[in-house]
Amino acid sequence: MPDAVVVSRARRARACAVVVLAAALLVTATSGPALPGRSTPDATPDAGPVAAGTGATGGVGTGVGVAAHAQIPLYQQAVSVLPGGARAGVPAQAHAVYLPGTRVPDPGVAALAAAVGATPTTTAPLGPRAAAAAAAEQLAWLAAGELPGAGGPHEALARAALLDLHSLTVADGVVVAGWSRRWRYVWPRDSAFVAVALARTGHVPDALAVLDFLARVQAPDGSFQARYLPDGSGPPDDRGVQTDGTGWAMWAAGLVLAEVPPDDRAAAAERLAPLVERSARRAGSLVAGGLPPASPDYWEVVEHEVTLGTAAPLVAGLEQAVVVLEAAGRPAAAATAAAGAARARQAVVDAFGPTGYGRYATRTVPDAASAFVLAPFWGEAPPGAHAAWSASVPSMLRPAEGLAPGGGWRRDGVSWTPQTTLYAWVAAEQGDADGARRWLDVVDRHRTPSGAIPEKLLADGAPAAVAPLGWSAACVLLAIDALDHHAA
């Protein structure tokens, strides 16, 4: 496969797009793929190692040394919105043109592409009236909320992130992590971040619906499977329980509740209380002796000792559980959650503080989870946490200037946008506007031709793997929103 190239986001005016498209299509028809460096038709996301959603797969190593730079195809460049609420992936090699301000394919351009043998935005039959109606619905959804960064350098990025989240929403409260086959599920972790992003951009009803879905699939004991089928019927496999989901559900509930209008807050708290109370009971039992047992976290690999990525979200969640349960008029449950939060917090500080809030308590391995003990996760950062978080960057930095999930991650040159945008959000919440903008700019420069935010950036910055990724889109919105509020 040829070396990938940097493909920045397209800035096409619709009027000139057809002219450019026609010329490019003629080249495509005679000389093969029109986007150099993209995967050939047989380079699909199902070739090679199984990709496990937003977490890690094979190849997790010590982070020492330099391996060959990975070459990963872009599985699709966006998810298009079709009439009737349908969704479809947009091929990486497509000449994608949409109705203005939306991810609804322009039916005229799609027909032209198909007529000359090129890859259209969509192959679904799409009439002009139906497409216009679908576009109007998406535009109305955007208008119902707020656009972070309006008038600033990241306005277009924020709009793209909102379009990403809307395009990944396949039913009421159901936001899949991505569109490729192995990502088209609901991860509680990803959905928690999406719920907070929706709430902070003025889409509070959508945020509450996301948490309603988590409440429906949660087990009676308060646990969550790693991921769920979009219809809520259960997990797609036997990957098993991931403990951090319990913490993230409580954390998201508290932050979403804070965005509910005051007159509606008591009712919303009562709506969220079953999810939160079940989660708090489970979290309390897990941290009864201090740290919780080992569990897979956002790396999505089997762990034999507890990680900060599991322990820190439980603290964050229990702290927010207190807020929700008090608002719901459940003081006893709130008091129990507060005691659990204090106990778990002290255990994390005692265990992970000496090793610099890295991945493990037994050795120093920098990790993106160091962000989870700062705002907007813990109510108060422990001593040394901010310095540890800053110190994690050098070992995680990759050639495209984004971040890997940790210092122990494989050295394949790949930046991961969930962690890069997470650091943008945390930087903004710490008042480091320059740092936040720097991380946002990395992602902004290397979106797909449709403007979607991909999961990965190759060593040369080319967007790769799944696009869009909901977790990354959520963190982008939250970072830009935090920049707005700190500048106000």
Under a CB-based contact definition with an 8 Å cutoff, are residues 253 and 319 in contact?
Answer: no
Q: Are 386 and 430 in contact (CB under 8 A)?
A: yes
262 secondary structure, DSSP code: G
How, if at all, do strands 456-457 and 463-464 pair? antiparallel
What CATH code is assigned to 176-388?
1.50.10.10
Beta bridge partners, 88, equal 80
State both tokens at 76: 């699709």
Q: What's the CA gap between 327 and 256, in Å, rounded? A: 13
pLDDT at 49: 26
CA distance 341 to 324: 14
Report the pLDDT value the prediction gives residue 488, as an integer from 0 to 100.
77
pLDDT tens by residue, 304-334: 999 999 999 999 999 999 999 999 999 999 9
Q: Which amino acid is at 233?
A: S
Nearest to 86 by CA among 210, 194, 180, 169: 169
176 SS3 class: coil
Those residues with Cβ within 8 angstroms of residue 352's Cβ, 6 or more apart along the chain or in another chain: 308, 311, 358, 361, 373
The distance from CA 88 to its chain's CA centroid, rounded to whole angstroms, is 19
Alpha carbons within 13 angstroms on the beta-carbon side of residue 139 total 12
Give the tokens for residue 460.
């040369």
Give the CA distances from residue 19 to residues 36, 80, 228, in Å, rounded to whole numbers and listed in that order.
Answer: 20, 22, 44
Structure tokens at 458: 């190759």
Look at 14-18, 106-110, 182-186, 318-322 and tell me which has the smallest mean pLDDT: 14-18
How confident is the prediction for the chain on average, in pLDDT?
88
CB-CB neighbours of 124 under 10 Å: 14
Given this model, what pLDDT does residue 66 score?
A: 53
Mean pLDDT on 153-159 = 98
- Report the pLDDT averaged over residues 402-422: 97
The H or E element spanning position 15 is helix 14-31
DSSP code at position 81: E
- Spatial distance between the Cα atoms of 374 and 368, rounded to a whole number of angstroms: 11
Q: What is the pLDDT of residue 114?
A: 85
**Exposed e or buried b per residue across 364-383, where buried means at least 16 C-beta atoms within 10 angstroms of its C-beta:** ebbbbbbbbbbbbbbeebbe
Q: Which residue has the tokens 């330099």?
A: 66
Place of tokens 């979607």: 452
Helix (H) or strand (E) segment spanning residue 238: none
Strand, helix or coil at 19? Answer: helix
User: Can you tell me the distance from the alpha carbon of 349 to that of 305, in angstroms, rounded to the nearest whole number?
Assistant: 16
Q: How far is CA 257 from CA 269, 297, 370, 397, 477, in A?
A: 7, 25, 25, 35, 18
List, as one string, the DSSP characters of 422-484.
HHHHHHHHTT-HHHHHHHHHHHHHT--TT-PPPSEE-TT--EEBSSS-HHHHHHHHHHHHHHH
44-95 tens-digit pLDDT: 333 222 233 343 333 343 344 456 899 999 999 999 999 999 999 999 999 8
Torsion sign over Cα 96, 100, 102, 105: negative
Residue 476, amino acid: V
pLDDT at 67: 61
Beta carbons within 8 Å of 336's beta carbon, 6+ residues apart: 280, 284
Three-state SS at 281 = helix
Q: Are 411 and 403 in contact (CB under 8 A)?
A: no
Question: What's the pTM?
Answer: 0.89
∠ CA 396-401-403, nearest 5°, is 30
Task: Please report the pLDDT score of residue 195 as a whole number.
Answer: 99
Q: What are the Cα distances from residue 214, in Å, to 72, 107, 250, 268? A: 32, 36, 11, 15
In the predicted model, what is the mean pLDDT of residues 321-348? 98
Confidence of residue 155 (pLDDT cuts 50, 70, 90): very high
Chain centroid to CA 168? 11
Stretch 436-449: mean pLDDT, rounded? 98
- Tokens representing 244? 């951090």
Identify residue 329 by its one-letter amino acid code: G
Q: Could you give the count of Cα atoms lying within 13 Å of 474 in the half-sphere of its Cβ? A: 25
Residues 200 and 481: beta-carbon distance below 8 Å = yes
Lowest mean pLDDT among 104-113, 211-220, 395-404, 444-453: 104-113
CA distance 169 to 81: 10
Within 10 angstroms of residue 11's Cβ, the number of other Cβ atoms is: 7
Domain-wise residue ranges, the chain: 7-37+68-124+131-174+392-488, 176-388
Among residues 297, 266, 459, 274, the alpha carbon closest in space to that of 372 is found at 297
What pLDDT is stored for residue 487 in this prediction? 86
